[in-house]
Structure 1
Amino acid sequence: MNTLLSIETRNAVLLKMAVLLEQEREAIININKTDLEAYKGEDISMFDRLKVDDFKVDEMIKSVKHLASQDDPVGVERFSFKHDNGMQVYNKTASFGTVLIIYESRPDVTVEAAGIAFKSGNKILLKGGKESLKSNLKIVELWHQALKEEGASADWVEYLQFNRTETQAFLEKPTQKVDLIVPRGGERLIAFVKEHATCPVIISGRGNNFVYVHKDADLDIAIDLIMNGKSKISACNAVDKILIDQNLADKDAFVNRLITKLKETNIEVLGDANISKNHEVEAITSDDIWYKEFLDYKILIGEIASNQDTIGMINKYSGGHSSVIVTTNNEEAKVFMENVDTAAVYHNASTRFTDGGQLGLGGELAISTDKLHQRGPIGLQHLVTNKWYVHGNGQIR
C-alpha cells in the first residue's frame, strides 16, 4: 500500500521528469525510430500516433510542467455541513488509488496520461501496445529515475509487459488492486477492456463526429470548420460526417465547392443518395456506414430536411463525442445544442477543440463518452473520487 505522496513530492517528480525528457530527447527519438521501423501494419493513423519527434517531446515536457503548476486535486472540500449534534461533516476529493491505463501506440500517453493520474495521487499501471514497447520502456525508465531522485518509490509507476492473453487474465482477475481502468485507443481495444474488466472503466468512446450546415449558415465558416475538422485524421475529434440542410440557398454550388476543397487535400468523398445523384462522388451502399468512425482520409456528405431530423440522425449514429451546427440563427443553435446527445456541442466552431488543453483543463487523461462520472475531456480535477470526513466528540445516533 503506497501512502499518498505529498503534493510537493508529486510536483517535484513531474518537474524532474521535464528535465529528464529534455536530457534524453535524442535517445527517446532514436529508440522510437526502431519501433517505427518494426511497425508493419497498414494503419496510417496508428503510425502517426506511434511517431515521436521533437515536437512530441516538447509537448510531453510542456504537459508535465503544466501539471506541476496546477493545484492539488486531492483533498478539495466539495461540501460541508454542521450537524445538529455538533458533528462537523466535510466531503472532500480523494484519489482513486491505482489507475490502469491500457493504450495503443502513443508513447506520449506514457508521459501525459500517466502524469495526470500521478498528480491526482494514484499509483499508475501502464499497459501499452507492443508496437511502442521500446519507446514506452525508455519513458518508464525516466519515471523511475525521477521518482527515486525525489525520494519516492519507483513502484508508483509500473509497466505491465503483458500479451493479449495475460492482459485478459489480469483484467478478469487482477493480481494487484486496481480501482479504475482507462482504455485509450480504438473501438476494439475499448470493447475488449469493457468485456473483461471487473472494476470501473472510463469509456473514451469513438469519434464519428458530425457537422450540420444549417440553411442559415455562413458558408465560409462552414468550409473552414469542415477542413479543420479533417486536418488530423487520427484524432478522435476529427470530422467524419457532414449534413447539409436541403433548404440551403445555392446548395449545389456550396456542395461542389466543398467537394473540390476536400479532394484537393486527398480526402475521399462519399455521398448519400441525394448528394451522389447530383455530384461526382461515390454513393454509399448501406446506411451502416453512418455509424463508422473513419480514422482515414474519408468523409461522408448527406442531405437532411431540418434541424430536428439532424438531431435525430446524430443521436442515432454518432459516437457521442462532438457535433457542430453552423448557423447564424442563435435560436436554432440553442435547440441543436440542448438536444444533441454528444459530450461536446459546438456552434460555429471546430470539433478539433474537444481536447483537455483546448477546453481549459490543461490536459486530459481521456475523452469520456460515458455519462458517469465525467463526460468529455477528463482533466486533473476529474480523476478523483470523494470521501466523507466526519469529526465528532462521542456522538451516537
Structure 2
Amino acid sequence: MNTILPIEKRNAVLTTMASLLEQERESLKSINQHDLSNYSGEDLAMEKRLLVDDAKVNGMILSLQQLASQEDPVGQVRFTFTHENGMKISNKTAAFGTILIIYESRPDVTVEAGGIAFKSGNKILLKGGKESLLSNQKIVSLWHQALENNGVSTDWVEYLNYDRVQTQEFLEKPTQKVDLIVPRGGEKLIEFTKKHATCPVIVSGRGNNFVYVNEDADLEKAMVIIINGKTSNISVCNALDKVLIDTNLPNWEVFAKQLVTELEKFKVTVLGDEAFAKATGVPAIENDLIWYEEFLDYKIVIGTINSNYEAIAKINKYCGGHSASIITENEALAQEFMDNVDASSVYHNASTRFTDGGQFGLGGELAISTDKLHQRGPIGLQHLVTNKWYVYGEGQIR
C-alpha cells in the first residue's frame, strides 16, 4: 500500500516530468512515428488522436505545469460540525487510492490523466491501446524517471500492457485493489468496462452535441459557431454533430442554403430532415435513429423545429448528455434553454468545442463525464477525490 505523498513531492514529480518531456521531445516524436507507421487503420479520428507533434508535447508540458501550480485537492475541509457532546466532526476530501485509466490511441492521456490522478494522491494504472504502445511506454519510462529523481517509488505509475482478454480478466478479478476506473474512448470501450468492472466506473461519454438556432439568433454568430463546432477538430467528443433551426426564423431557408454552402467548403457531408432537405436539396436522413449517432467525421445532420419547447425535447431525447448550445439574442429564452437541457455543459452563443478541462480553467481533465455521479462534464483535479469523515473525541460514547 502506498501512503499518500506530501504535496511538495507530488508537485516536484510533476515539474520534473515536464522538464523530461521537453528534453525527450524529439525522441518521443520519433518513437510516435513508429506507432503511426504501424497503424494501418482507416479511422481518421483515431489517427489524429494517435499523433504526437510539437503542439501535443507543448500541451502535455503545459498541463503538468498547471497541475503543479494548483492547490492540493486532498484534505480540503468540506463541512464541519461540533456535536453537543463536544466531539469535533469534519468532512475532508481524500484520495481514491488506485485509479485505472483505460484509453485508446492518445499518448497525451498518459501524461494528462496520469498527472491529474497522481496530483490528487492516487496510484495510477494506465491501460493504453495497442496502437500507441511504443509512445506510451516511452512516456511511462519518463514518469518512472521523474519519480526516481525525487526519491519516490516507481509503482505509483504502472503501465498494463494487456490485450482484451487479459484486460477483461483484470477487470473481473483484479490482481491488486482498484478503487475507480475511468474508460476514455468510444462507446464499445465504455460498455466493455462497465460490463466487466467490479468497482465504480466514471463514464467518459460520447458527444453527439447540438446547436439550436433560435428565431432571435444573430445569424453571423450562428454560422461561425456551427462551422467551428463541426470542422475545427472532428476527432473529439466536443465536436458538433447536429443542428436544429427554428422555422420561425425569418427566411430560414436562405440561412439554411448559406449554411450548406459553407459546410460543403470544408467537405462536410450534410444530411437533413424532410423540411431541411426540401429547402436545400441535400439528401434526407433515412430514419430518426441517426439523431442518436456521434459521427467523429466530416458529417452533420440538420433539422427543423418550430418552438423552443420542441428544441429542448428533441435534444434531451437524442443528445449524449455532453454539450448543447443555443444561438439567440433573447437572454431569458437562452436561460430557459440552459436550465432545461439535460447535458453536462450548456452554452449560449458559443461553440461546444470549449467543453474541455483546460478551457474551463481546470488545467486539463481526467475525462468528460456524461454520468451524473459524482461529477458531470470535465473532471479536473478537484473532482478526482472522494471524502472521509474525521471525528475527534475525548472518550464520548453513545
TM-score, reference length from structure 2: 0.99
The CA deviation at 1:391 is: 0.7
Runs of 4+ in structure 1 over 4 Å off: none
SS in 2 for 1:79: strand
- Partner deviation per Cα, 1:241-281 (whole Å, 9 max, x = no partner): 00000111011110111101000011110111111112121
1: distance between equivalents of 2:238 and 2:251? 29
Give the match for residue 311 of structure 1: 312
Q: Distance in 1 between matches of 2:173 and 2:347?
A: 41
Aligned match of 1:32: 32
**In structure 1, the residue corresponding to 2:100 is in which secondary structure?**
strand
Question: Does the 8 Å CA contact 2:74/2:93 hold for their aligned counterparts?
Answer: yes
The alpha-carbon deviation at position 2 of structure 1 amounts to 0.5
Partner of residue 338, structure 1: 339
Letter in 1 for 2:108: D
What SS class does the counterpart of residue 178 from structure 1 fall into? coil
Letter in 2 for 1:80: T
Aligned equivalents of 2:287 and 2:38: distance in 1? Answer: 37
2: distance between equivalents of 1:30 and 1:266? Answer: 31
| C-alpha distance after superposition, 1:194-251 (max 9, x if no partner) | 1111100000111000000001100000001101101110110000000000111011
Q: Distance in 2 between matches of 1:331 and 1:140?
A: 50
CA shift for structure 1 position 305: 1.3
SS, match of residue 282 in structure 1: coil
1:275-314 equivalences under 5 Å are: 275-314=276-315
Query: Which residue number in structure 1 is paired with residue 4 of structure 2?
Result: 4
Instruction: State the SS of the aligned residue for 2:52.
Output: coil
What are structure 2's unaligned runs of at least 5 residues? Answer: none
Instruction: Write the distance in 1 (CA, Å) between the matches of 2:291 and 2:362.
Output: 31
1:359 Cα offset (Å): 1.0
- AA paired with 1:54? D
* Deviations, residues 166-219 of structure 1 (Å, cap 9, x unaligned): 001111111100000000111111111111111000001110000000011000
Secondary structure of the residue that 1:323 maps to in structure 2? strand
AA paired with 1:332? L
The residue that corresponds to 1:81 in the other structure is: 81
Q: Which residue of 2 aligns with 1:150?
A: 150
Residue of structure 2 in register with 1:248 after alignment? 249
Query: Once the two structures are superposed, what CA deviation does each residue of 1:290-343 show, in whole Å capped at 9, x if it has no partner?
Result: 000000000110011111001110111000000011001112111111110000
Alignment of structure 1 residues 158-197 onto 2, 5 Å: 158-197=158-197
Please say if 1:127 is aligned against 2:130: no
Q: How far, CA to CA, are the matches of 2:173 and 2:356 in structure 1?
A: 33
User: Aligned pair count?
Assistant: 397
Tell me if structure 1 keeps the 8 A contact 2:215–2:328.
yes
The aligned amino acid for 2:77 is E
CA distance in 2, matches of 1:323, 1:191: 24
Post-superposition Cα deviations, 1:363-390, rounded to whole Å, max 9, x if no partner, equal: 1100000001000110000000000011
How far does residue 288 in structure 1 lie from its aligned partner after superposition?
0.3
In 2, the alpha carbon distance for the partners of 1:285 and 1:319 equals 21
Name the aligned partner's letter for residue 316 of structure 2.
Answer: N
Aligned to 2:91: 91
Please show how residues 221-236 of structure 1 align to structure 2 within 5 Å.
221-230=221-230, 231-236=232-237
Is 1:49–2:65 an aligned residue pair? no
Q: In structure 2, what residue type is equivalent to 1:115? A: G
Taking the aligned partners of 1:84 and 1:277, their CA distance within structure 2 comes to: 72
Q: One-letter code of the match for 1:315?
A: N
Task: Tell me, in whole angstroms, the C-alpha distance in 2 between the residues paired with 1:270 and 1:246.
Answer: 17
SS of alignment partner, residue 101 of structure 1: strand
Contact 2:216/2:328 (8 A) holds in 1 = yes
* 1:108 equivalent in alignment to 2:108: yes
What is the CA–CA distance in structure 2 between the aligned matches of 1:28 and 1:89, rounded to whole Å? 49
Q: How does 1:315-394 map to 2 (within 5 A)?
A: 315-394=316-395
Q: Distance in 1 between matches of 2:317 and 2:251?
A: 28
Separation (CA, whole Å) in 2 of partners of 1:227 and 1:277: 22
Supply the AA of the counterpart residue of 2:397: I
**1:14 corresponds to:** 14
User: Contact 2:273–2:285 (CA<8 Å) still a contact in 1?
Assistant: yes
Root-mean-square deviation (CA, aligned residues, Å) is 0.6
Per the alignment, residue 66 of structure 2 pairs with 66
Q: Distance in 2 between matches of 1:390 and 1:324?
A: 45
Q: Is the 8 A contact 2:257 2:279 kept in 1?
A: no
Cα deviation digits, residues 130-184 of structure 1 (max 9, x gap): 0000000000000000001101000000000100000011111111000000001
Alignment partners' CA distance in 2, 1:159 and 1:48:
23
| Distance in structure 2 (CA, Å) of the matches to 1:363 and 1:155 | 23
